[in-house]
């Protein structure tokens, strides 16, 4: 796992002064607006925002990131080349890094535990999940995830069903990011609109589900007792699961 070095002391105070001009801060948000340096970064993924500068110093690079507060959560800065590259999510990865050079910094948005996300390892993969117990309808649940820079959980690989079975323990049904709202019977994952494959459909639904009961069930829940997935009326309110995905999370 990566080791972390928090920007602190005088440097941290300088950050605070600098950031005070750009965003309205309270003590509660101070932490989220500081950057931490990833001192061991052989295994991570950063989603680049395709924005870079040269002849920039570290503070300037951080300032560029802060100006894009709603989309920038990490950056790399190379002291030798003075190249600054902005990115969004930064998450642990099993394989290669997507950024070759430079020190890596990230904000508290890295699997933001302050926002109730938890970093969970299952098998060889680490997941950043939020098991929300608030009861929302499907649209509101999706918006709640987006507001936390995440999306409703998807199950595009069989292992992700095991992840839910293992870690989702406090509720019986939760919205996941799958629906056939656009076309009846054609289920698409909410995050990238890809189709639910026939293999995954037969794996995730059993029995009569999805049954489009009452001709009004277009959104999908994980149901711990029965199916394991079940289509339900999108206006039904239930808990939900948010997921941060490094490369497709925004
Ligand atoms: Ca339906
Ligand atoms: Ca159903």
Ligand positioned closest to the Cα atom of 186:
1
pLDDT of the residue at 22: 28
How many other C-beta atoms can be found within 10 angstroms of the C-beta atom of residue 114?
11
Measured in Å, residue 234 CA sits from the centre of ligand 1 at: 10
Measured in Å, residue 9 CA sits from the centre of ligand 1 at: 55
Measured in Å, residue 212 CA sits from the centre of ligand 2 at: 5
- Return the closest-CA partner of residue 133 out of 242, 241, 239: 239
pLDDT of the residue at 67: 84
Q: How far apart are CA 1 and CA 154, in angstroms?
A: 25
Q: How far apart are CA 69 and CA 229, in angstroms?
A: 36
pLDDT single digits (tens) 30-73: 333 567 777 655 566 677 888 999 998 988 898 888 888 667 87
Measured in Å, residue 210 CA sits from the centre of ligand 1 at: 8
pLDDT single digits (tens) 184-235: 999 999 988 999 999 999 999 988 999 999 999 999 999 988 779 999 999 9
Does the global pTM surpass 0.85? no
Measured in Å, residue 221 CA sits from the centre of ligand 1 at: 12
Measured in Å, residue 205 CA sits from the centre of ligand 2 at: 10
Measured in Å, residue 145 CA sits from the centre of ligand 2 at: 23
pLDDT of the residue at 100: 52
pLDDT of the residue at 117: 85
Token pair for 137: 């309808």
Token pair for 85: 């590259």
pLDDT of the residue at 129: 93
Measured in Å, residue 217 CA sits from the centre of ligand 2 at: 6
DSSP state of 116: T
How many other C-beta atoms can be found within 10 angstroms of the C-beta atom of residue 174?
23
The angle at the Cα of 59, spanning 53 to 63, to the nearest 5 degrees, equals 70
Ligand positioned closest to the Cα atom of 217:
1
Token pair for 162: 């095991």
Measured in Å, residue 127 CA sits from the centre of ligand 1 at: 29
Q: How far apart are CA 16 and CA 5, in angstroms?
A: 17
Measured in Å, residue 111 CA sits from the centre of ligand 2 at: 32
């Amino acid at each position: 796992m990566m080791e972390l070095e928090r920007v602190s002391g005088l440097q941290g105070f300088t950050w605070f002064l600098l950031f005070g001009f750009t965003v309205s801060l309270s003590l509660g948000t101070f932490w989220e607006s500081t950057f931490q340096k990833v001192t061991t970064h052989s295994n991570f993924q950063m989603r680049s925002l395709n924005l870079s500068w040269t002849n920039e110093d570290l503070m300037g690079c951080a300032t560029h990131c802060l100006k894009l507060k709603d989309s920038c959560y990490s950056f790399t800065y190379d002291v030798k080349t003075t190249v600054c590259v902005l990115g969004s999510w930064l998450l642990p990865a099993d394989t290669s890094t997507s950024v070759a050079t430079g020190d890596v910094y990230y904000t508290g948005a890295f699997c933001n535990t302050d926002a109730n996300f938890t970093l969970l390892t299952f098998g060889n993969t680490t997941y950043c999940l939020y098991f929300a117990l608030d009861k929302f309808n499907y649209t509101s649940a999706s918006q709640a995830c987006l507001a936390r820079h995440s999306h409703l959980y998807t199950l595009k690989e069989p292992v992700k069903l095991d992840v839910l079975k293992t870690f989702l323990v406090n509720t019986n049904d939760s919205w996941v990011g799958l629906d056939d709202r656009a076309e009846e019977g054609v289920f698409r994952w909410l995050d990238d609109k890809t189709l639910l494959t026939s293999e995954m459909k037969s794996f995730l639904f059993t029995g009569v589900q999805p049954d489009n009961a009452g001709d009004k069930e277009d959104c999908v829940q994980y149901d711990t007792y029965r199916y394991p997935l079940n289509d339900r009326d999108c206006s039904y309110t239930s808990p939900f699961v948010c997921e941060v995905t490094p490369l497709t999370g925004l």
